[in-house]
Structure formats: C-alpha cells, structure tokens
Amino acid sequence: MGRKCQLVMGPAGSGKSTYCATLMAHLEAARRPAKLLNLDPAAEHFEYDCTADVRDLITLADVADELGYGPNGALVYCMEYLAENLDWLDDAMGVDANPDADEYWIVDCPGQIELYTHFPIMRTIIAHLHRSAAFTICGVYCMEAAFVTDPFKFFSGCLSAMSAMVQLEIPHVNVLTKMDLIKDQIDPARLERYLWPDSSLMDEWTEGEGKWASSKWKGLNMAVTQLIDSYSMVSFIPLDITDDESIGALLLQIDHAVQYGEDLEPEEPKDEFDIEDGGGDEF
C-alpha cells in the first residue's frame, strides 16, 4: 500500500477540523488505521487526538509575541519555518524510523488561502513528502455548502479551489462541507447544478431585473465563470457529517485518488449455493 495522505485545506471556518474529526471516527469504526497530523500552528483546540502536531515545532502565538507579527504574517512565518525544517516533519511522521511503512495520514492544514494559491510553501512540503517517503497525496479542498446561496461567494470559492489545484499539481477532491446545516433549505435537484458548476449558473443569476442584472460588473462576472467553465476542473462532492453514506461516498473518491487498496488481496466470496449445506442442486 505504501504511505497515503490527505491534505485537508480550505479557508478559515470551512469545516476542515470537523471534517478531520469525522473522518477519523469513520475510519476507526471501519477498523482502518489512520494517523492525523495537525499542520496549523494557530490551532487552539481540537475535536480529535493528534498523532503529530506542528505546534511542537513552532506556534503562531510565540512568533507573534517574539517578532510582533500580526496573525497572517505570523502564520506565513511559521509555515516558512516548517519548510526550512522538514527533518522535523520526517521525524513526526516516522519516515526515517520506518521508511517502508504502510500508513494512511490525514493532515489538517491552516486556513490561510494564500498558502495554497500562490505561496510556494505547500508545494515545497508536498514535494518533500513525495521525495522522502513516496507519499501518494490527495488534496481535499473544503468549501461551505452555504456558498451555493450566494453567486459571488460560490464562484469565488470555485476560483480559489481551481487556483489550489493548478498551484499544487496533485489529485484534488473538492468538498461542499456543512451540508447537514442547509440540506432542508435547498432542493436536491437544484444542488446537482452546483456539483459541476458552469457559466449557465451565473446566466440564471444575472437574468431579469434583479440587482445582479443591473450590476456594472456583470461582464466581468460572466468572464470569470466562463474561465472556470473552460478549465472543466472544478467539481464538488457534498458532505453531510451526520450521514455515514455521505462520508463513505467521499472517502471512496479520495481512496481512488490515492489508489488506496488497489494492492490488497480481495476477500474470497462466499458461496451462496453451498452443496454441502443443501443450498444448491448438484449437476
């Protein structure tokens, strides 16, 4: 199997930590061993137990106190420090101690979107994980499902997801989180339109006499959505953390992206017509 890894990313408040806690509980119930790395130096509390924690190396609070940086600058400094001390990451993930381990890691990343869209920090970390331990990595980009009610927030989120996909150059699964909070507010058939977003959604929003139609930015908005449409890269999987089937369906997509289980021996099928048990006829 080798080492597999999910990089859970997205803006602050998008449900990354809740996703990690939910997935770890789901994997434990399925008796699938997994480890979790907190890569957010600004984290204060968790809904899960960490196998490894970047705050053992550096914390945002310490950087802010010692250097006088604000939250954003301190976070970037912390991540740059990590990128310069990747031997700590190898130790935390047991790369040197067990180089040929079969492991499945969930990595809870910081909520600063610049880390995934134009700073090279995450690319450096990804390249190191590929090189040092042959990790197979999938990016899991989280976006709040509530964004489907606002055209500008939704397509802004699509642009950020696409930017991360282009920048990081790894398999990506984009997730509409917090579906449990809005599932009674949106028609399932309507939701399907948002899972494969295209410019026709913006056409609908800008039709008629509403404020979208009269906006002087209509042409720019349409150009942006057509850019997303032309790349045909961004799609979403809805996640309802109260529904085991929803969690399982998402995990199946991610497992496929990291090729988890492809080298496992299949179980022998049970014979439903066992002659010795009288369950079938002898020919």
Residues 169, 65: one domain?
A: yes
The pLDDT of residue 230: 80
221/247 same-domain check: no
Strand 52-53's sheet: what is its strand order?
A: 52-53, 35-38, 103-108, 3-9, 136-144, 172-177, 236-238
Whether residues 139 and 220 fall in one domain? no
Residue closest to 197 by CA, chosen among 170, 221, 223, 233: 233
Q: Are residues 130 and 214 in the same domain?
A: no
CA atoms within 13 A on the CB side of 88: 15
Let me know if residue 226 belongs to a domain.
yes
Mapped onto helix, strand or coil, the DSSP state of residue 140 is: strand
**Are 79 and 211 members of one domain?**
no
Any domain includes 276: no
Number of domains within the chain: 2
Expressed as residue numbers, the domain containing 214 is 198-232
Q: What is the CATH number of the domain that holds 239?
A: 3.40.50.300
Report the predicted TM-score, pTM, of the whole model to 2 decimal places: 0.86
Assess if residue 141 is contained within a domain.
yes
> Are residues 152 and 173 located together in one domain of the fold?
yes
**Same structural domain, 68 and 103:** yes
pLDDT in tens, the chain (283 residues): 789 999 999 999 999 999 999 999 999 999 999 999 999 999 987 778 899 999 999 999 999 999 999 999 999 999 999 999 999 999 999 988 777 789 999 999 999 999 998 899 999 999 999 998 899 999 999 999 999 888 778 888 999 999 999 999 999 999 999 999 988 888 888 888 889 887 777 777 666 545 555 566 777 777 888 888 887 889 999 999 999 999 999 999 999 999 997 665 544 544 444 444 444 444 3
Do 24 and 34 contact (CB within 8 A), yes or no?
yes
| Other Cβ atoms within 10 Å of 134 Cβ, number | 12
Per-residue burial over 162-192, b if 16 or more Cβ lie within 10 Å, else e, is bbbbebbebbbbbbbbbbeebbeeeeeeebe
